[in-house]
């Protein structure tokens, strides 16, 4: 399967995990699955010898206890628990992967280059491209100590409606801040391909979907042909070329323990690139489930965007437009929302393709085909709304 240009990887699985209490690291990391295990002693020894010169290497003398984070369906994430500190290891999944996807060096390098101008990234400890260590590239970073929200906001955080709204706007402010970074003349400049981002994305993700089709979806329901044709016909010109995250969700944000309305970290930079900022926002809103959404949409929720105090999708667009100073027409807004849902469908279909072809054994992925069909229906409903604006 070929990747979409500018987009090297795939976000985490679009399914809703169970709610986790505040102590996210202790509850959301479990024993390593046998298919994802690696030689812990070998990694520990390699890390002691190959950490970046400016990295904090204190406390790495012993071999760590290793746990695996259970969420997500793209890159694999592990907790390395040393006696005095915690680190995070990221590596690609097993099985056939889209060319250019799961690029550990790129994900590592973006965060390392971003650190001087965007403090909400974890410090990088080391990058390894020696497949002899664990069988693939990987990188190790600091664990940001904070709260990560999952499906619901834990009651023990004590957030009322006003605090939830403050959290919501703080999250959007982080996205605005990211999109405001001047990348010219920095190391970040090399991660983009210039103008034409929207077109490359429409063409690239359409190609990915066609190559990820499984039996019985060449035509008709689930084919997405009408959606892909609509996106091709109605795509706007790029509104900018800035660093975008491409998987911006609450479960990729780290909140301060002493103030859960304050964002101290942004995680999972696998999809980051230079591109159109409104594509980034549209992608984020594909996961944004409101309290008044239909039953199927509510059933797919994996973040607490339904909570009293959270902005609706329309309000997010309005807030972002005001905070960023960008004018966004209702018609363009619908394009970005439809593309975001389509991209999510491609991601789900690619994961289902891996399951259907025996490249992963996670039984949860069997349900992804139904989600893909639902997302096509949702895209076509928004297309009809866009037609009424013409």
Q: Crossing angle of helices 225-234/368-389, nearest 10°?
A: 40
The closest of 86, 140, 148, 144 to 119, measured between CA atoms, is: 144
Whole-number pLDDT of residue 15: 43
Q: Name the fold adopted by 155-389.
A: Aminoglycoside 3'-phosphotransferase; Chain: A, domain 2 (3.90.1200)
Whole-number pLDDT of residue 139: 98
| Comma-separated ranges of CATH 3.30.200.20 domains in the chain | 24-142
Question: Any idea which residue has 């309005």 for tokens?
Answer: 318
Query: Are 90 and 141 within 8 A, CB to CB?
Result: yes
Please give the share of the chain, as a percent, with pLDDT higher than 90. Answer: 77
| pLDDT per residue as tens digits for the range 160-185 | 999 999 999 999 999 999 999 999 88
**pTM of the prediction?**
0.88
CATH 3.30.200.20 fits domain 24-142: yes
| pLDDT per residue as tens digits for the range 86-112 | 999 999 987 544 445 679 999 999 999
Whole-number pLDDT of residue 190: 93
Query: Are 280 and 248 within 8 A, CB to CB?
Result: yes
Instruction: Give the separation between CA 279 and CA 11, rounded to whole angstroms.
Output: 15
The answer for residues whose C-beta is within 8 angstroms of residue 347's C-beta and 6 or more apart is 10, 11, 14
| Comma-separated ranges of CATH 3.90.1200.10 domains in the chain | 155-389
Whole-number pLDDT of residue 298: 94
Which stretches in the chain have pLDDT values below 50?
A: 1-2, 11-26, 96-99
Instruction: Give the separation between CA 386 and CA 22, rounded to whole angstroms.
Output: 41
């Amino acid at each position: 399967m070929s990747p979409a240009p500018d987009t090297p990887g795939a976000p985490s699985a679009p399914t809703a995990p169970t709610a986790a209490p505040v102590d996210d690291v202790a509850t959301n990391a479990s024993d390593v699955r046998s298919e994802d295990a690696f030689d812990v002693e070998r990694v520990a020894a390699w890390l002691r010898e190959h950490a970046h010169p400016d990295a904090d290497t204190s406390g790495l003398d012993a071999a760590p206890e290793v746990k695996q984070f259970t969420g997500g369906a793209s890159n694999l994430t592990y907790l390395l628990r040393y006696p005095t500190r915690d680190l995070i290891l990221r590596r690609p999944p097993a099985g056939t992967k889209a060319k250019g996807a799961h690029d550990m060096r790129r994900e590592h390098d973006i965060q390392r280059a971003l650190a001087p101008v965007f403090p909400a990234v974890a410090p990088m400890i080391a990058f390894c491209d020696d497949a002899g260590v664990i069988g693939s590239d990987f990188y190790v970073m600091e664990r940001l100590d904070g709260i990560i929200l999952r499906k619901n906001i834990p009651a023990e955080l004590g957030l009322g409606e006003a605090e939830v709204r403050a959290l919501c706007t703080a999250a959007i402010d982080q996205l605005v801040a990211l999109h405001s970074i001047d990348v010219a003349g920095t190391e970040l400049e090399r991660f983009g391909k210039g103008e034409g981002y929207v077109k490359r994305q429409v063409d690239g993700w359409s190609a990915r979907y066609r190559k990820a089709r499984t039996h019985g979806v060449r035509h008709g329901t689930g084919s997405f042909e009408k959606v892909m044709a609509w996106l091709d016909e109605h795509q706007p010109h790029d509104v900018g070329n800035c660093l975008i995250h491409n998987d911006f969700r609450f479960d990729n944000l780290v909140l301060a323990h002493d103030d859960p309305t304050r964002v101290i970290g942004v995680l999972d930079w696998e999809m980051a690139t230079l591109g159109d900022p409104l594509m980034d926002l549209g992608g984020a809103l594909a996961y944004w489930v409101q309290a008044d959404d239909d039953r199927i949409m509510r059933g797919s929720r994996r973040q607490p965007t339904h909570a009293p105090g959270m902005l609706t999708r329309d309000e997010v667009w309005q807030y972002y437009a005001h905070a960023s100073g960008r004018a966004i027409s209702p018609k363009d807004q619908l394009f970005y929302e439809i593309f975001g849902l389509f991209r999510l469908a491609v991601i789900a279909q690619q994961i289902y393709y891996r399951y259907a072809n025996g490249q992963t054994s996670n039984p949860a992925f069997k349900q992804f085909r139904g989600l893909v069909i639902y997302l096509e229906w949702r895209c076509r409903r928004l297309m009809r709304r866009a037609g009424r604006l013409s």
